[in-house]
Amino acid sequence: MRHREAYLHYIWRYGLYDRLIPTGELAGARIEVLEPGELNTDAGPDFFAAKIRINDLLWVGCVEIHHASAEWYHHHHDSDPAYHSVILHVVEQDNRPIALASGASLPTCLLMVPHQLEGEEVPRECSPTALPCTQSVTRGGRLAPLGQLPHEARRAWLQCLLHSRLREKVQAVEDLLQRCGGDWGQTFYTLLLRYYGFGLNSESMERLALSLPYTTLMKHRDHPEQVEALLVGQAGLLGYLAEGEHTELLRGEYHFLSHKYTLSPLPPGTFRRARTRPSNLPERRLLQLAGLLCQRESLAEESLRVDSLTEAYELLRPARGGRGGEGEGDTSSVLSPASCDLLIINVLIPYRLTWRRHYGGEGEEYAPLSLLDGLSAESNRITRLFASAGLPVETASDSQALLYLHRHYCSQQLCACCPWSTRSSDSTT
């Protein structure tokens, strides 16, 4: 059965199904898969950050895939809070209705596998641990020499990919701006919280930002303990703080403020904590964020005036972070340089590009890109794949370009559209 699920993951990921048939309460609905999501290789739902349009409503969340719907209960997903964010259950057989903790039915649809694909193995080139081109053009067990590509050809293609990546990021900010009713402050705050999740809790952080308005939070900027209480309390994470006088103070503040603003905390299990380093625990990140917000009158406006990496670090790494249970002056409550780099790449630059698209002068759209060239390349699974294939990854501009290449070409098996694939093949024949 595990092999069958891996096969269904492959069919879903690459959109190879004939059609999706809504069942149960969804029967007759129109389903459009805008983004299948990112395959999860850890515990939890199968795909994260999927975007599904059901009739005229856009849903963003997790997708779980089973051969039969009854496996939801066989695998005890009903009692696992990590599965509360599932927005669609994709199955081959709908043999049992699934009820969520709220009592509502779990949206379910049938995945119709084309007859001509039945019995096929999942292609090796779809493996997340290898690049398709390096498997198809190897010789003597060695990887294709991507590092031997002519410098001009490599730079030209990387620049093209980088601009595509940035257009994608700007469009995501535009969509968020629309969801925030055109409020630039709320948009920046939501974007910042999303990337304070650092991948593992990005979706959950965004939900928190949308449930706790920026204007509400900033009314209490002069009272750090109230900002901490609102963020951690609204996230439903006060119970994870170390017991003590400060935690009791935060509980009391959130109890009062939640009644004042009619707030309800996010449900248990919204945030993932399993196998998480202490420094990346969501409650710790929120205390860091509280310290940052209390020291900056308007992060959104200040970010537009940043002209160097030094200024960007000063903006994102104030001298004093949130208490985090350690007391003031604790350096672990301040973001690391690597974390700041990720926020510069994913928050400051896309936000500034979007703002300049609306209000910037002629030819100023890409002025913030100088920040990218000064940052070291990101180190992640994708960049390590290209580095092991012989391609140097030197700056954040390179790593951002390669992330776009992997997602839109390598993962989609569009090797024929990649000039590097053609050159690599020619060089080894």
Q: How many other β-carbons are positioned within 10 Å of the β-carbon of residue 383?
A: 19
Tell which residue, 43, 79, 61, 346, has the closest CA to residue 191: 346
Bridge partners, residue 47, by sequence? 39, 63
Q: Please check whether residues 43 and 98 belong to one and the same domain.
A: yes
Q: Please check whether residues 209 and 94 belong to one and the same domain.
A: no
Q: Please check whether residues 207 and 355 belong to one and the same domain.
A: yes
Q: Which of 122, 144, 178 is at the close of a domain? A: 122
Give the pair of three-digit tokens for residue 386: 């290209």
* pLDDT of the residue at 120: 57
In a domain, 129, yes or no: no
Angle at alpha carbon of residue 375, lines to 374 and 381, rounded to 5°: 150
Give the pair of three-digit tokens for residue 373: 């060239």
Give the range of the structural domain holding residue 78, as residue numbers without chain letter: 2-122
What single DSSP character describes residue 242? Answer: P
In 94-223, alpha helices (H): 132-136, 151-179, 184-196, 202-211, 214-218
Q: What is the pTM of this model?
A: 0.73
Q: Burial of 233 by CB count in 10 Å (0-12 exposed, 13-18 middle, 19+ buried)?
A: buried
Q: Please check whether residues 162 and 101 belong to one and the same domain.
A: no
Question: Do strands 57-68 and 108-112 pair parallel, antiparallel, or not at all (unpaired)?
Answer: unpaired
Q: Which of 122, 139, 171 is at the close of a domain? A: 122
Quick one: which H or E segment has residue 34?
A: strand 31-35
User: If the chain, 429 residues long, is cut into consecutive pieces of 10 residues, what is the mean pLDDT of each piece?
Assistant: 78 88 92 88 82 90 93 89 87 90 87 76 52 52 60 88 93 94 96 90 91 96 96 96 95 97 91 80 94 90 90 81 43 75 94 89 58 87 86 90 88 77 47
Residues written for the chain: 429
In sequence order, which residues have a C-beta less than 8 Å from that of residue 339 and are 6 or more positions away?
198
Residue with tokens 């905390």: 265
Q: Which of 346, 374, 402 is at the close of a domain? A: 374
The one-letter amino acid code at 170 reads V
In a domain, 418, yes or no: no
Question: Do strands 47-54 and 38-39 pair parallel, antiparallel, or not at all (unpaired)?
Answer: antiparallel
Round to whole Å and give the CA distance between 380 and 87.
28
Q: Please check whether residues 175 and 287 belong to one and the same domain.
A: yes
How many domains in the chain? 2
Residues 166-197 pLDDT 10s: 999 999 999 999 999 999 999 999 999 999 99
Tell which residue, 341, 336, 340, 315, has the closest CA to residue 399: 341
**Integer CA distances (angstroms), 186 to 210, 216, 219, in order:** 8, 10, 14
Q: Please check whether residues 176 and 285 belong to one and the same domain.
A: yes
Coil vs helix vs strand at 22: strand
Q: Long-range CB contacts (< 8 A, 24+ apart) of 52-58?
A: 52/87, 52/88, 54/22, 54/26, 54/29, 54/30, 54/107, 55/29, 55/30, 58/34
What single DSSP character describes residue 374? Answer: H
Beta carbons of 296 and 315 less than 8 angstroms apart? yes
Beta carbons of 184 and 41 less than 8 angstroms apart? no
* pLDDT of the residue at 128: 53
Q: Please check whether residues 186 and 301 belong to one and the same domain.
A: yes
In a domain, 388, yes or no: no
Q: Please check whether residues 195 and 342 belong to one and the same domain.
A: yes
Q: Please check whether residues 35 and 171 belong to one and the same domain.
A: no
**Integer CA distances (angstroms), 161 to 89, 154, 233, 329, 330, in order:** 34, 11, 41, 42, 41
Round to whole Å and give the CA distance between 362 and 330.
45
In a domain, 411, yes or no: no
What single DSSP character describes residue 361? Answer: -
In a domain, 185, yes or no: yes
Q: Please check whether residues 184 and 118 belong to one and the same domain.
A: no
Beta carbons of 9 and 39 less than 8 angstroms apart? yes
In a domain, 17, yes or no: yes
Residue with tokens 């974007």: 191
In a domain, 403, yes or no: no
41-57 in b/e form (b: 16+ CB < 10 A) is eeebbbbbbbbbebeee
* pLDDT of the residue at 139: 38
The one-letter amino acid code at 251 reads R
Angle at alpha carbon of residue 124, lines to 114 and 404, rounded to 5°: 90
In a domain, 28, yes or no: yes
Longest dimension (CA), the chain: 72
Q: Please check whether residues 163 and 306 belong to one and the same domain.
A: yes
Q: How many other β-carbons are positioned within 10 Å of the β-carbon of residue 144?
A: 25
Q: Please check whether residues 355 and 229 belong to one and the same domain.
A: yes
In DSSP notation, 33-102 reads: EEE--EEP-SSS-SEEEEEEEETTEEEEEEEEEEEETTHHHHTTGGG-GGGGGEEEEEEEE--S--B-TT
Tell which residue, 44, 18, 7, has the closest CA to residue 274: 44
